[in-house]
Structures are given as C-alpha cells and as structure tokens.
Structure 1
Amino acid sequence: MKNLFLILIAVFLTSCITSAQEDKKDKKEYKITKTENEWKQQLTPQQFYVLREAGTERAFTSPLNANKKTGTYVCAACKTPLYKSEHKFNSGTGWPSFDRAIKGSVELDIDYKIGYARTELKCNTCGGHLGHSFNDGPRETTGERHCINGVALEFVPKDKTK
C-alpha cells in the first residue's frame, strides 16, 4: 500500500512538471515585447485594459464603429496594419466589425475566460488582445465577423498610408 502511494505521488509530480514545461514552451514570443510598466506608460488606461488584460470596451462607445472613411486600421499598441476599411461592415453589435484581417497580421487563439471556448484575436506583432471572431459575418464574403474593440485600433486614412 505504501509503495502504491509513493508511485501515485511520483506520477502526479511528474505530470505537474510536464504541464508547466509545456505551457512555457508553447508561449508565443512576439516581435514587440515590453514590460507591463512600459505598456502602461505608452497606452491609455482603457487601451491597457483591453490590449494587455484582454478586457472589453462597452458597446457603441468607439467612434471607429461608425467610421466610413477609406484607410487602414492599425494596432493601437504597435501600429501594425490589421484591417482594411473595405473589409469593415456594420454588424449592429456596437463594435467595429471586419470580415477578414490583413493576411498574417492577426493571431487566432482560444480563450475560455467566460466559461466556454471562443476564438480570440490578437495582434500578431505585439500580442495585444483585439477582440473575438464569430461565424455570423457576411455570407457573400468570408462568413466571419471579427468583432474588435475600437480602443485597440487606430485609423490611418488612405492618403496618409505608405
């Protein structure tokens, strides 16, 4: 009985060590990394809450939700181009919505923060939380809806893009 107990403890400890090592190994390294304090100095409190703590801004509060100008939406933290205005649509949800991202700019991750799996969208350059992806977008295009926190974006009009 004593040997069985020792074996069970050894198996448990080994599984804990393995899980911790896998978590560190699977953690993505981003091109732009900063300390929490550096991000706090650069971002507004609302931007920090959304981009670095995966928060959500209140619906219908972002002026970008109603923006109809031609241009590019970039990450508010690192200025990476993320979305083009021609892929923006009015979803009626209260957040800027796009049917696709600029190729390679947005990372898809799984988030369980509210008790079930959702597809989280992150900036592929700095790892900033942008919002979530849903499969209820325009059927005539991709069928996707990238529901993005406006505070995570900055808009660059077409005449000011490179």
Structure 2
Amino acid sequence: MTDNATLKVFKTDEEWRQILTPEQYRITRQHGTERAFSSPDFDSSKSGTYRCICCDRPLYSSEAKFDSGTGWPSFTQPIAPDAVTNHRDQSYGMNRVEIRCADCDAHLGHVFPDGPPPAGLRYCMNGVALSFEEQ
C-alpha cells in the first residue's frame, strides 16, 4: 500500500489472526488496550513515521509525538486529516472518542481534549497497533 492509500482493506478474522500476533489482534481487531508503559515506543524520540500495524498506512509523524506522562505513545495530530477516523465509544461507562485507521478500521486508541496547544488534543495510541519506520 502506498502513502496515499485510499483503498479500504478488508480481511476475515481468520486472515487477521494469521498476520497479527495475539496481542496485536486483541488490540486492533477486538478494541483492546495495552498496559501503560508496555509499548517499546511509548517514550521513543527517534525521527520517523508511525504506521498502522495491520495495513501499513502512515498515521503519525514523530514530529507530532510528545511525552504525555500516560505511558502510551501520544501525538498532537495525525499525519493527514484522512489517516484516522473518529468513533463514539461509551464502553466502561465512559464517553470517549475512539480512533481507528481509516484504511482497515483497526482500533488504535482514543483522542482526548487535554493535549498541548494549539489544538489541545492528545491522540493516545496503543503502541502495539503501530509500527515505526525510522527516517
């Protein structure tokens, strides 16, 4: 898939299970959450691009990454406005905005209104849902 991908990616659950680790499947396909501070990239300061682990779509630039103190990789914005989609999430008695990959519908994490200026957003992502391409 190219960086300008607009084609939707559809796979059966069995196909996803064959290409993802059990933890990647649980997070991205079953809307799970990894433990805080468990992602190898949660505090990385390397330059590069964070991509969807399921379909390789570029999602976040390291330039938008910041230390939120939460233990999850956090970003101020996606790499492009159409890279991710927002979905209402009222699970666990909370009212949140879930973030999914626009190409394959993988659950990535949530966005919260407590990020740094100017937008004030914190895209709190599961590190296991992302792959990192260093530049």
Q: What does the per-residue CA deviation read over 1:25-81, in whole Å, with 9 as the maximum and x for residues that have no partner?
A: xxxxx7001000000000000000000000000000001111111000000000000
TM-score (norm 1): 0.77
Q: Which has the higher helix share?
A: 1
Of 13, 36, 44 in structure 2, the residue corresponding to residue 67 of structure 1 is 44
1:41 is matched with: 18
For this pair of structures, how many residues does the alignment match?
128
Of 86, 99, 103 in structure 2, the residue corresponding to residue 125 of structure 1 is 103
TM-score (norm 2): 0.92
Secondary structure of 2:93's aligned partner: coil
What is the Cα deviation at residue 115 of structure 1?
1.5
Secondary structure of 2:42's aligned partner: helix
Secondary structure of 2:59's aligned partner: strand
Secondary structure of 1:114's aligned partner: helix
Q: Which has the higher strand share?
A: 2
Instruction: Tell me the amino acid that sits aligned with residue 116 of structure 2.
Output: P
CA RMSD in angstroms comes to: 0.9
Structure 1 segments unaligned to the other structure (5+ residues)? 1-29
Query: Which protein has the larger Cα radius of gyration, Structure 1 or Structure 2?
Result: 1
1:4 is matched with: none
Instruction: Tell me the amino acid that sits aligned with residue 87 of structure 1.
Output: A
Of 96, 107, 128 in structure 1, the residue corresponding to residue 85 of structure 2 is 107
1:86 is matched with: 63
2:8 is matched with: 31
